[in-house]
Structure 1
Amino acid sequence: MKIIHTGDWHIGKIVNEYHMTKDQEYILDQFLHIVCEEKPQAVIIAGDIYDRSVAPVEAVELLDKILAKIVLEHGIPVLAVAGNHDSPERLNFGSGILKTKGLYIEGVLKKDATKITLNDEYGPVNFYLLPYADAVVVRDVFEDPGIRSQQDAMKAIIERIGAAMDKDERNIMITHGYVRGSEEPETSESERPLSIGGTDMVSYELFNDFCYTALGHLHSPQRAGNENIRYSGSLMKYSFSEVKQKKGVNIINIDEKGVSDIAFRELVPMRDMRIIRGELKHLTDPAVYNAANREDYIKAILTDKGELLDPMRKLKSVYPNVMLLEVEDRGSKGDYFLSAKTSRSKSKLELFSEFYKYINDTELAQESSGVLAKIIEEVEKRGEDREAN
């Protein structure tokens, strides 16, 4: 059985005041192309289908279009769970009707996890659909006051599944959360924290009885503890902390014993996210901006030493999708101290030149020094004239 594992679509997301729906439509059309090419027996969506609980109309329409093509046109079952960004109740609406068409969506946590069984030439493959639920919700559903953390919650859920699970069959977990392996996971700024203080973390050992665990929540494609516990990552970059990440989907092949192969298919966005750094004149040089896609989403870090006149407008004239602009801080060395004795022994021009070098790590240009000397001379002369009158 071939399975495509994806997640964290965040349809309807707004990044730095830019609506991403058109970009998401572009990438989801590319995803559809991969689905048609790979011809899987199932598609997994591991949560955060929408970016917020009440999704905008265009986001709902886009999801409807994509799922209709996968399930109705191509006849491929889709198994999806709610993430922490989704509304469990809204996502769960109509699930009883939809499953008759091959669309299995689990939005609300139940004490007995939903199990969907699909068959291949080797027999049944069992998919357990486990939507995201906070520990407080799990405590209430399981009526267990001892559940205090996500680890406690997941342990209780897995133990109940395990009590009825045939471990000789191939079992796949689909869930959404922060699963930690032996290595520190790669996180992103666009991931909404599940809790504070580390109580959101779940140990990967809890999933040892599953031949594959399809995870959502972390936006970087990565494994969690072992090869068969994986995040597919988000479809697109949603913050500048993700600029170095490759985005795509996991292709999993299951044989009679379990996972035989896992491959990663990369997705290429309509507009990438990039960080550019340098002086304004350099960044607006045609030789620089024509070397890459000018339509990309840009964070610009300017290193100019002097004052800049309307730098955002000048950047947008060549990079129309500049999202963020930062000016490198050259005044972060702390306070500049000058004793009264030192100040009396030096001229105003010398004092200013020293301060300029301290702030900018470079000498005041001779031309600028000449202009400043004239200004100081003129100001002092006006002061003398005022005293004489």
Structure 2
Amino acid sequence: MKLLHTSDWHIGRSLFEFSLLDDQRAFFEQLCQIIEEQKIDALLISGDLYDRSMPSAQAVSLLDEMFTTLIRRYHLPILAISGNHDSPRRVSYGSYLFEQSGLYLAGQLKPQLQKITLCDSLGKINFFLLPYFVPAQVRLMYEDSSIHTSTQALEAIIEHNRDIICPDERNVLLAHGFFMHQHHESEENTPILPQTCGSETSVGTSDLTDLSCCEGLFDYVALGHLHSAQRAGSNTMRYSGSPLKYSVDEAKNSKSVTVVEITEKGKISFSLIPLIPRRDLRLICGTMEELCKQENKSEDYVFAQIISDGPVLNAMSRLREVYPHTLGLSFCQSVQQNTPELSLDLAALEPMELFSRFYQHITGQQLDKEKQDIVSQALKKAEKDREEEE
């Protein structure tokens, strides 16, 4: 059976002030093409269908269009769970009715995992849908006061569902969160840690969940939440990554979906199918003159780093004449080295000396006579205003 693993669609997301609905629709067209070319048997979506718990009407309409097209055109089973950005109740709405059409949605965490069984020429494959959870939910659900961490919560969930998980059968788990098989011996004898690539990979104080309790039970663990395609300590426990770049931090990353092929029990292979965005997201760097050359004109989303030793007037409007989808800009100096450190005894310095040192520290240049005169006049006016106030 060939499975297409994807996650973190974030339907309805905006990039700064730009709506990404058209970009997400373009991703869906590529998804359909991949499904046809790869002859996919089932689609797995590991959470974060929407970008917000209360998605816009346009976002709901687009996801409805996506699901309807996939089921009517390809008669393709779709298995999806809610992520931390989703509303569990909204994702669960109509799920019993949708199952009749092959759309399996697990929005709300329940004591018993939702189990979906599909068949291929070799027999049954069981899919277990685990929506996003936090330890407090699991503690209350099982009335177990000993559950405090995400690892303990996952262990409790697996333990309470052992009677429906047959290790001798082919099993697949869908889950959403910050996971790692910490005790797995990989080919390099070390797990691959999550990469930093945007807001959903900055784990901060998030509780890392150890997947060790899933060892031997599941042939493949389809994960969502981190936006970069990667393994979670094991080749059979993987994040698919998001289909689009959803932050400037992801500019240097490439996007893909994961095709997983399961044959006999314990035999699994996978490949990453690259995605080509409608508009790429790029970082550009240079002087205004270099960046604003007409031959650089592009419809991509760009964030500009402008090299300048002074203020630049109308920088954003000038950039958007060449890059209509400019997200933002920052400034950096052309000279940032060999600059003396500011004196630690700042209170002992005269205002002009203090400003001169600050200017040199920031720009790497000496304050020339013309600029000294401007600063001197400003300081005199400030002193005069202070005296008048007193």
**TM-score greater than 0.5 by the shorter chain:** yes
Change (3 A) 1:333 1:326: farther
Aligned 8 A contact 2:342 2:361 in 1: no
Is 1:220 matched with 2:208?
no
Mapped pair 1:231 → 2:231: no
Separation of aligned partners in 2, 1:37 and 1:217: 27
SS in structure 2 opposite 1:69? Answer: helix
TM-score in terms of structure 2 length: 0.85
Q: Note if contact 1:32-1:66 (Cα within 8 Å) is conserved in structure 2.
A: no
The equivalent residue for 1:385 is: none
1:188 matched residue in structure 2 = 197
In 2, Cα distance between equivalents of 1:130 and 1:95: 15
Matched, 1:162 2:134: no
For residues 265-303 of structure 1, the C-alpha deviation after alignment (integer angstroms, 9 at most, x for no partner) is 11111111111112111111234x24xxx1111111112
Q: Distance in 2 between matches of 1:127 and 1:333?
A: 63
Structure 1 residues 46 and 337, CA, compared in 2 at 3 Å: closer, same or farther? closer
Structure 2 partner of 1:207: 214
- CA 1:34/1:339 → structure 2, altered by over 3 Å: closer, same or farther? closer
Which is further off, 170-179 or 185-194?
185-194
Q: Which residue does the alignment assign to 2:278? A: 270
Corresponding residue for residue 20 of structure 1: 20
Contact 1:8 1:46 in 2 (8 A): yes
- 1:178-216, Cα deviation, whole Å (9 max, x unpaired): 10243321133322878x634x21113222121000000
Summarize deviations over 1:303-325 as a string: whole Å, max 9, x none. 20012111111111111111111
The 3 A distance-change label for structure 1 pair 74 and 342 is closer
Counterpart position of 1:139:
139
Q: Which residue of the partner structure matches residue 4 of structure 2? A: 4
* CA displacement at 1:101 relative to structure 2: 0.7
Q: CA RMSD in A?
A: 2.9
Q: 1:31 to 1:339 in 2, by over 3 A?
A: closer
**Structure 1 alignment gaps of length 5 or more:** 380-389
Q: In the alignment, which of 360, 364, 383 is matched to residue 363 of structure 2? A: 360
TM-score using structure 1 length: 0.85
Worse-matched range after superposition: 272-281 or 226-235: 272-281
CA distance in 1, matches of 2:362, 2:345: 14
Tell me the CA shift for residue 145 of structure 1: 1.3
Which of 304, 312, 322 is the aligned partner of 1:308? Answer: 312
Is the 1:252–1:259 Cα contact (8 Å) retained in structure 2?
A: no
- Offset of 1:338 from its aligned partner? 9.8
Larger CA Rg, structure 1 vs 2: 1
The residue type paired with residue 331 of structure 2 is V
Structure 1 residues 327, 163: CA separation in 2 closer, same or farther (over 3 Å shift)? same
Aligned with 2:316: secondary structure? helix
For 1:101, the equivalent position in structure 2 comes to 101
User: What residue is the counterpart of 2:116 in the other structure?
Assistant: 116
- What is the CA deviation profile of residues 238-257 of structure 1, one whole-angstrom value per residue up to 9, with x for unaligned ones? 01111122111100111012
Q: What is aligned with 2:289? A: 281
Say if 1:372 and 1:13 are closer, same or farther in 2 by CA, change over 3 A.
closer
